[in-house]
Structure 1
Amino acid sequence: MRAFLVMVLVATPSVLLPGVTEDGKQMVALVALFAGVLTFVEYNATYPGLIEFRDARPYNRTRYLMLLCIVFFLSVMARGHADPSTLARLFEALGILIGQALDFPYSPIRLVTLTLAENSPPAHVLAVRSAAGVAYLTSVIALAIFALTLRIYDWPSKNGAFNVWTNLPTFDPTVGGDVVARLERDARFNLALGFLLPFLIPAIVKMGGMGLGAIDLRYPPTLVWLMAIWAFLPASLFMRGIAMTRIAGMIRNKRVRNSEQAIPGYIPA
């Protein structure tokens, strides 16, 4: 089921958007098949591989739903230009309002629009701003829901035993000093990078002389995926930082309880 849902996510823009060429559909089908096979192998393997928190819901489920919502919303908005419908018009109107509300000086949305070529048509600038606004707002809402869910359900304490090796396969707890200190350091790094990336990516692209004008954002699938990745990566890093902070706190509390139980005459509360 996970593999099938990942394939649906990859194929969503090419299914909803008109004008996708046959070669493009074949390429998307190949990428979707590869992503599905990778997901199937990762979740069925006995030993961990690349996917983190595979046994610690709702981390990956929240990230998947966030990316799916972003891709679906942007695809419906882009579809409205070529194949107008009531739903597409509604999403397009909401996107314009969100883009205008978030387009203030030094905002990530403003930085994205500044990377466009100076001779870009107003309609193209409006479409990019609307897509960036919807993607960014969706990622922020998903991030808030994720943090609230962890708080309400006391994740990961109430999920049973938490296996650090299985859920953090790229993190080696035997190297580099105290595990808690390393988890907190990595969490702070992920939080800082997740906060800065929406600002850094447009700035780096602009300073590099490329600009989004060098990329054909008039092709709807390109616009959808670029804006989705731009909004998804920072939110994903932010979620990883929050999750690692919670794990570090869980390990610290466990150490405190073990040390208290080691005291002679200790009576559990």
Structure 2
Amino acid sequence: MALFCAFFTFSEYASTYPGLIEFRDAPPFNRVRAVSLFITLFALSIAATGAEAPQTLALIVNATGLVVAHAIDFPYSPINLLGTLLQDDISPAELTRLRTMGGLSFLIGLVTLSIFAVLMRVHGWPNRKAKFNVWVNLPTFDPTVGGDVVVRLTRDSRINIILGFVLPFLMPILASLGIRQLGLSVSTSPQTLVWVVTLWSFLPVSLFMRGMAMARVAAMVTARRRYLTRQMDMQGGLQPV
């Protein structure tokens, strides 16, 4: 799977035509997501094995995740649902570890969104000095279909943000059903636990980032239209009557 993903990513970025990866020529959108995924997997792997081999780094990681989990563990919160829906197959100690891992992934997701928001605000993502090719960066978005581009971009942006907010509440249900149907157990498979919690946080963060990015593109198109309108008005005012 890793080799396949590496080959797919290389072929996408080596191609001059649009593929499946969005915002390919608008760094660091995909870099932020890739680094966030790596850090989440690394931190959750440390948390999953921290009880067996307690070290300083493992203690710090587990303590951080536990503090965050307690801070956001209120009724019907994502952390609460994550622990409640999966607690039938795990012991109280493993439930605590699950909530600790959930707190870690939640914290990393918030930091990722904050970093991307800062990059958009401070550095003017995407690069204002370079042209933004909608066809390459949004290969699945057809600007010639479905009415005004700005309206569609704004609508898609809101839909992605709403899905990013709702998904942490729905994914524990889907994860529990999938684990039971496949006959898996998070108590006997740390890899399953790590990947479930990682996807639980990474997919909503990706949707949030995509919604923020599409809202930014809509604002860029609106600003460009206003600029062209002013230019046309100025040129029209200089023409003789």
**TM-score for both structures, normalised by structure 2:** 0.91
Letter in 2 for 1:180: V
Give 1:215's aligned residue. 184
Per chain length, whose mean CA-contact separation is higher, i.e. which structure has more relative contact order (CA < 8 Å, sep 6+)? Answer: 2
Displacement of 1:251 after TM fit?
0.6
Deviates more, 1:40-49 or 1:85-94: 85-94
| 8 Å Cα contact 1:99/1:129 also seen in 2 | yes
Displacement of 1:58 after TM fit?
1.6
For 1:111-150, what aligned pairs fall within 5 Å after superposition? 111-118=81-88, 120-150=90-120
Give 1:32's aligned residue. 2
Q: 1:70 aligns with which of 22, 40, 46?
A: 40
2:237 is the alignment partner of 1:265: yes
Aligned residues: 235
For 1:78-97, what aligned pairs fall within 5 Å after superposition? 78-97=48-67
| 8 Å Cα contact 1:117/1:211 also seen in 2 | no
Q: Distance in 1 between matches of 2:223 and 2:193?
A: 45
| 8 Å Cα contact 1:116/1:213 also seen in 2 | no
Identity in percent = 48
Show structure 1 runs of 5+ residues with no match.
1-30
Displacement of 1:156 after TM fit?
2.1
Displacement of 1:65 after TM fit?
1.3
Letter in 2 for 1:217: V
Q: Given the superposition, is the C-alpha separation of residues 117 and 155 from structure 1 closer, same or farther in structure 2, using an over 3 Å criterion?
A: closer
Show structure 2 runs of 5+ residues with no match.
none
Give 1:100's aligned residue. 70
Displacement of 1:231 after TM fit?
0.2
1:92-146 Cα shifts (integer Å, max 9, x gaps): 2222222222211121000001112436311010011111111011101111111
Deviates more, 1:133-142 or 1:214-223: 214-223
Give 1:10's aligned residue. none
Give 1:246's aligned residue. 216
